[in-house]
Every structure is written in structure tokens, then in C-alpha cells.
Amino acid sequence: MSDVAKQEKAYEMLKQAVTNIYKEIEEDKSLDRVNLQNLLNDHPDLTPDDYAEVSKNTLKFAYAQADREVPKEFIERIDRALNL
């Protein structure tokens, strides 16, 4: 598999993980809606590493707005998807 194909695969795995996390928390009314919606944005210009970092930071910001910590499991799931 070429490097480009590997990056595309990693990006798709991350996108799926982030989308699944979003679906789990989208009903949580204490989290900022606009910020959470950013999780669903495509970032084709980012490397998988950068996309993972943007996603984690988006989650951290949304949870910080509600004076809460991001569940460790969400960060771990993003990291696992990146390393598949």
C-alpha cells in the first residue's frame, strides 16, 4: 500500500471513530452544539496526525465549556484509530 493510500485509510478510520463519538454525545445538552458540530467537518488538508489532534482539541474545548473533562475513552479511541 502506498503512503497516500495509508494516509487515506488512516483518515477514514479516524473519521469513523470521531463520527461514532459524536453520535454518542450529540444528545448531551450541556455540551456546546456548534463546537461539537465541528467534529463532523472534513479536514482533507490535514494529515491524520493533525486531524486526530484537531478532533481531540475540539472535544476538550466542548467539554471545558461545560466544566467537564473529556472521557479518557474518547481520546483513547481516537489514538487507536490513528494507529490502526
Q: How many domains does the chain have?
A: 1
Q: Are 68 and 30 in contact (CB under 8 A)?
A: yes
Q: What pTM did the predictor assign?
A: 0.87
- Mean pLDDT per block of 10 residues along the chain (84 residues) reads 85 92 91 82 86 94 93 96 86
What is the structure's pLDDT at 37?
Answer: 83
d(CA 31, CA 53): 19
Domain that holds residue 73: 3-82
What is the structure's pLDDT at 6?
Answer: 86
Q: Calculate Rg over the CA atoms of the chain.
A: 13
45 grid coordinates: 488538508
